[in-house]
Amino acid sequence: MNQRIAETFARLRSAPPRGLAAPEQRDGGQRCGLVAFVTAGDPDRARAGRILRAVDAGGADVIEVGVPFSDPLADGPIIQRASERALAAGMTLAATLDVIAEERRAVRAPIVLFTYANPLVRMGLTRFATRAAEAGVDGVLLVDVPLEEAAPFHDVLCAAGLDPICLVSPTTSDDRLRRSARSGRGFLYAISRFGVTGVRDQIAREAQALVRRIREQTTMPVAVGFGLSRPEHVSQVSRWADAAVVGSALVAEVAKHADSPALEARVTAFVRWLRNGNEPTA
């Protein structure tokens, strides 16, 4: 397991709860982590690094950086539009790695790339893994590579010290949960509901049942995502998972304040609000 990711989840599991969830409300005793997603290069390349620092300053435990891609499968409309803006501004996989390399020393949190196979294949998998490791990437979540075809990707990533993060969903069988835990590193990303990413009012009922099934198969940390957008969602997830993933809501906040000189401050405040539930976003 990548050192930064391992240390982050070890710290979370040993830390007392904070924020909205009281200790008596939780199945476990650890503090729930926050995985915050941003699209690389949105709203533009010039501010991409400053946004990473702003998310880190807000207290994100893991930063998930989406590589802009023209043909997404899992991204909802908010993140699709962010990718379109970033691509139009000239953002690429190589440029994303350059931004991370520039900011790595200033960013405390582990960085996980959220990407599709095509950009990696175009760059060359070994070259990508080497460049990503040198840039300070800690893990890679390949959205469109099924478990049966993942071994060549995972072997190269692990050899470079990068954690391949596996996705599991409510339809994943117990056997595939076990295989995903054996194949992946770092943490399991549990999709809370069917469909694509997006902002939702409530967490899908299937999410908690999925996490319980995962707990029966592995001790690997579990992060729950898709549809989470508010502190109450993070609090709810904190009762049974190790981390909550918030993506579309944060990307929408970036888009909302893209023309403001206070963009980075807004991003930091939004992440703090997600973590603590006591700081306004406007």
Based on the residue annotation, tell me whether 75 is a catalytic residue of this protein: yes
Residue 27 catalytic? no
What is the model's pLDDT at position 195? 47
* Residue 281 included in any domain: no
Does 108 reside within a domain? yes
pLDDT for res 197? 47
- Distances, alpha carbon 32 to alpha carbons 95, 198, 235, 237, 256, in Å: 32, 21, 8, 8, 27
Indicate which residue of 75, 103, 163, 253 is catalytic: 75
CATH number of the domain enclosing 7: 3.20.20.70
**Is 230 a domain residue?**
yes
Structure confidence at residue 245 (pLDDT): 95
What residues make up the domain containing 52? 3-276
Residue 87 in domain: yes
Which residues does the chain have with pLDDT short of 70? 16-30, 74, 193-204, 278-282
DSSP string for the chain: --HHHHHHHHHHHHSPP-TT--GGG-SSSSPPEEEEEEETTSS-GGGHHHHHHHHHHTT-SEEEEEPP-SS-SS--HHHHHHHHHHHHTT--HHHHHHHHHHHGGG--S-EEEEE-HHHHHHH-HHHHHHHHHHHT--EEEETT--GGG-HHHHHHHHHTTPEEEEEE-TT--HHHHHHHHHH--S-EEEE-SSS---B-SS--THHHHHHHHHHHH--S-EEEESB--SHHHHHHHTTT-SEEEE-HHHHHHHHHTTT-TTHHHHHHHHHHHHHHS-S---
Q: Quote the pLDDT of residue 193.
A: 54
pTM of the shown model? 0.91
Any domain includes 243: yes
Q: Looking at residue 30, what is its pLDDT?
A: 56
In whole angstroms, give the CA distance from residue 234 to residue 102.
30
Q: Report yes or no on 271 lying in a domain.
A: yes
At residue 278, the pLDDT reads 59
Q: pLDDT digit string (tens) for 138-154?
A: 999 999 999 999 999 99
Total domains in the fold of the chain? 1
Tell me which of 42, 56, 61, 64 is the catalytic residue: 64
Whether 282 is in a domain gets the answer no
